[in-house]
Amino acid sequence: MPPVPTVPSGRPDPSSPRYPQAAGAATSLAALDAHLVDCRACPRLVAWREEVAATRRAAFREETYWGRPVPGFGDPGAAIVVVGLAPAAHGANRTGRMFTGDRSGDFLFAAMHRTGFANQPTSTSIDDGLTLRGIRVTAPVRCAPPANQPTVDERRRCAPYLGRELELVGGGVRVAVALGAVGWQALLTTLGEQGWAVPRPRPRFAHGAEVRLERDGDRDADGGRVLTLLGCFHVSQQNTFTGRLTPPMLDAVLLRARDLASR
């Protein structure tokens, strides 16, 4: 793929249609995904995702890695959106689908199956038949970052994709579940930019945290549109293997999201 267009300073050119800022022009989730997968705006992330895809882990040496930005996945009309951190190097960066092909995804989709959001408890490949109902999975950073740690600049540069995705989900998002503090902060920033009344000082992340947001000038038959932000520990192995996040804890968050979305 050719490099992303730059200005004389060498930085990515915001006027280029392939720069994340242009994501706002997408008129459908399909158009957004088509724009996203060609993004090369973050040189460090591009180099890392492609190096991982070329060298591969021994267990997957016979596979062809995706090695590109990863779109959101799930119900296009979802009322609930789950926001993680970024694709895993040998998970979504390999399979091309969020939380697919790694133990974090095993934990997450098993919970979605138990709570009625997924038709099956496993997520192994992009063509494994998994479908989600009423829920969508996405992330604030779409490329696998070294050590699972995107920089602040990379998070800011990728933010337009999350913002536009939330706008394009057909059912109107009523609940956003943040997996971890990075997803929490990314959602608060994006929702604030979209006109939701984010409290000041910003609410702090915690497992089970719940923040009710309203948007000025966005009135419906019930008097106003409401979105609830829920906090949940990330489904990383550091949390699930140590018992910091257990299956019943995750189930409880997803069931709370269902309850709120149905009101």
Tens of pLDDT along 229-244? 999 999 999 999 999 9
Number of Cβ atoms within 10 Å of the Cβ of 94:
26
The rounded percent of the chain whose pLDDT value lies above 70 is: 89
Q: Are 148 and 225 in contact (CB under 8 A)?
A: no
| Domain interval for residue 112 | 20-261
Question: Is residue 73 over pLDDT 90?
Answer: yes
Domain membership flag for residue 11: no
Phi, psi angle pair for 150, to nearest 5°: -70, 150
Query: Rounded mean pLDDT of the chain?
Result: 91
Q: Are 179 and 82 in contact (CB under 8 A)?
A: yes
pLDDT score at 132: 98
With vertex at residue 163, the alpha carbon angle to CA 223 and CA 89, rounded to the nearest 5 degrees, is 135
Least confident range of 5-9, 99-103, 124-128: 5-9
Domain membership flag for residue 4: no
Question: Is residue 252 over pLDDT 90?
Answer: yes
pLDDT, tens digit, for every residue of 135-191?
999 999 999 999 999 999 999 999 999 999 999 998 789 999 999 999 999 999 999
With vertex at residue 79, the alpha carbon angle to CA 232 and CA 27, rounded to the nearest 5 degrees, is 115
Question: Is residue 206 over pLDDT 80?
Answer: yes
Q: Which residues of 123-150 are buried (b: 16+ CB within 10 A; e: fewer)?
A: bbeeeeebebebbbbbbbbbbbbeebeb
Between CA 207 and CA 204 the distance in angstroms is 10
Query: H helices within 96-233, ranges in order?
Result: 103-114, 152-168, 181-193
pLDDT score at 24: 85
pLDDT score at 14: 44
With vertex at residue 122, the alpha carbon angle to CA 116 and CA 127, rounded to the nearest 5 degrees, is 105
pLDDT score at 170: 84
User: Strand, helix or coil at 149?
Assistant: coil
Domain membership flag for residue 35: yes
Dig out the tokens for 171 from the structure: 């059912």
Q: Are 136 and 82 in contact (CB under 8 A)?
A: yes
How confident is residue 224, by pLDDT bands cut at 50, 70 and 90? Answer: low
Domain membership flag for residue 128: yes
For the segment 88-92, the average pLDDT, to the nearest whole number, is 97
Predicted structure pTM score: 0.90
Domain membership flag for residue 9: no
Between CA 215 and CA 191 the distance in angstroms is 9
Domain membership flag for residue 197: yes
pLDDT score at 21: 76
Number of Cβ atoms within 10 Å of the Cβ of 184:
26
pLDDT score at 1: 35
Edge-to-edge, what's the strand order for the sheet holding 210-214?
A: 73-74, 135-138, 80-83, 175-179, 226-232, 210-214
Query: In CATH, what number is assigned to the domain containing residue 242?
Result: 3.40.470.10
Domain membership flag for residue 3: no
Question: Is residue 127 over pLDDT 60?
Answer: yes
How confident is residue 19, by pLDDT bands cut at 50, 70 and 90? Answer: low
Q: Are 20 and 69 in contact (CB under 8 A)?
A: no
Domain membership flag for residue 2: no
Q: Quote the number of domains for the chain.
A: 1
